Structure formats: structure tokens, C-alpha cells
Amino acid sequence: MLRFARGLCSRLRRRGRALAAAAPSAPNDGRLGEGIAHRTVFVNGINMHVSEKGDGPVVLLLLHGFPELWYTWRHQMHRLAALGYRAVAPDLRGFGDTEVPADPRDYSIFHIVGDLIELIDKLGQDQVFVVGHDWGSMVAWNLSMFRPDKVRAMVNLSQAFTPRSPSRKSLEYLRSAFGDDYYICRFQEPGKIEAEFASYGTAWVLKKFLTYRNPGPFYITKDQGWSLPSEIPLPSWLSEFDIDYYSNKYEKTGFTGGLNYYRALDL
């Protein structure tokens, strides 16, 4: 598995450099979604939106984080398909065009991994290569633990493996280490942080999360919340078009589905 993962990463780097040298710079707008197919698959009791590109024999399952969507992987999907792979990026449970169960208890890691196990079967695959980012990394770690027979190899971004402690709950540890204003602790009371986000505006909240680069603990204080500058500058890899896409989806679903992942940490 490790040899396969290293070989794939090496090939992607070499091929990516060649493609970048040969192709003109692509605008960071809606055209990057062209050629990506979309469908809805019924898995584990919910309707899941799945995006796909490529028809190679090896499937790469791309798992996004919070507050993201399948759209996070649009650049990589084009590259992977050009290399001969089949890239599959779902909206995870509670996100985007996938169904959003109301009960936080429906977001345990067992539910989320269960969605993916059935999705892999619906894709007609015995095994897939898994790539995760942020919450997607946590899901990928657990998928690999629960069903190693389904995972050919795995690469994760931004989230180290953090096993559960049999003697201490995750939220108890986070509160003791970082305090009640730590963002995960602030996310726990249903409805309260959603109302706070609504007061800031969906687009502003997304810009805040997606451009945040402070390596220290992330706090949203109860008394002061976030300061509201007139404008949050966007990096080169994130455009206003991208923010509009994310905002349109989150305006429809709200943030509750993604927040419920944090509320189900100890389930």
C-alpha cells in the first residue's frame, strides 16, 4: 500500500509539472467544473451527491472538510482524470447537495463511514485509493481502520491520526486544553453558533474559514465573536466565483450539517 501511494504521488508530481508547462493558465472560475459529471446515489439511508471525472480502472475517492464541498477537489479531479484515473468526490453527509439529517446523532463516524462503504460498492469497486482533507482526513482514517479491505492506499492532508482515548472523551479533553471559546467547543450548542454565523453573513463566514492561516488554536469568543473587517482579501487560489458557489450551497442548507460532525465527536 505504501509503495503504491508513494508511486502515485511521484507520478502525479511529474505529470502535473508536465501538464502545467504545456497548458495555459486556467482561470479560477466556473469553467473548471466543465466535464465533471454529477449524480445522486442512495447510500446508507440518504441521498448522496457525487461528482466524477475520468474512467480509469483505479478510483480515487476524494473527501472534503468543513466548510467545504466536492468543489474543493475540482482542480485535482481534472488532473487525475488526465492521468488516467477515475476521480470521485462526494458531498459528504450533511453538505451541499447531499441529504442533511436533522439529528446530530446521525453524524457519528459510523454513519459517515457507512455512507462511504456503500458508495464504494455502488461505484462497482472492491477497493479505492482515498484522499482526505480536514474532516475528510478523519473520515479516511476511520474508513481505513473499520474496513481496511476497502482501502487500497490513503493520503491525508492537514489532519493527523488522533485515536480515541478509552479513558477520556474528546470534548472533555478539548475544553480542558483550550477552554470554552475553542471553536469546537463553541460549535456544541445547536442553533447558537448558526445564529452567530447568520449575523456575519454566509459569504463572510466562508471567507474567514477558507483563508484562515494562523497555526495556533482557533477561537470564537462568546463575548466578542469575530471582528468584522470591511473586506477579507482572497488568496490567488480562491476567487469570488468560488465563494459564490460555496455560499449558494450553504445558503440553501445552512451550516448545521457540517457542525453536527463536531457535535457527534463522542458518539
Residue type at 152?
R
**Residues 6 or more apart whose Cβ sits within 8 Å of residue 43:** 115, 118, 119, 122
Q: Which domains does the chain have, with CATH numbers?
A: 2-263 (3.40.50.1820)
The pLDDT tens digits for 208-228 are: 999 988 888 999 988 776 776
Task: Give the model's pLDDT for residue 1.
Answer: 52
Neighbours of 187 (CB within 10 A): 22
Give the DSSP H or E segment for 16: helix 2-22
**Residues 6 or more apart whose Cβ sits within 8 Å of residue 37:** 51, 52, 53
Q: How far apart are the first and last CA of the chain?
A: 30
Task: Give the model's pLDDT for residue 11.
Answer: 53
Task: Give the model's pLDDT for residue 231.
Answer: 83
Task: Give the model's pLDDT for residue 191.
Answer: 93
Task: Give the model's pLDDT for residue 167.
Answer: 87
Please name the residue that has the C-alpha cell 463566514.
Answer: 205
CA angle 136, 265, 109 (to 5 degrees): 50
Task: Give the model's pLDDT for residue 179.
Answer: 95
Round the average pLDDT of the chain to a whole number and report it. Answer: 88
Task: Give the model's pLDDT for residue 166.
Answer: 86
Q: Where are the alpha helices (DSSP H) in 147-239?
A: 170-178, 183-186, 192-200, 202-211
Cα separation, 231 vs 233, in Å, equals: 6
151-157 β-sheet, strand order: 37-43, 46-53, 86-90, 59-63, 128-133, 151-157
**3-class DSSP state for residue 59?**
strand
Quick one: cell of 75? 482542480
Q: Which residues of the chain have pLDDT under 50?
A: 12, 15-29
Cα–Cα distances (Å) from 36 to 19, 32, 52, 57, 167, in that order, read 18, 9, 6, 17, 45
Rg of the chain over all Cα atoms, to the nearest angstrom = 19
Cα separation, 101 vs 32, in Å, equals: 30
80 sits in the region (left: phi over 0; alpha: psi -120 to 50; else beta) called alpha
Task: Give the model's pLDDT for residue 20.
Answer: 38
Neighbours of 78 (CB within 10 A): 20
Cα separation, 129 vs 259, in Å, equals: 27
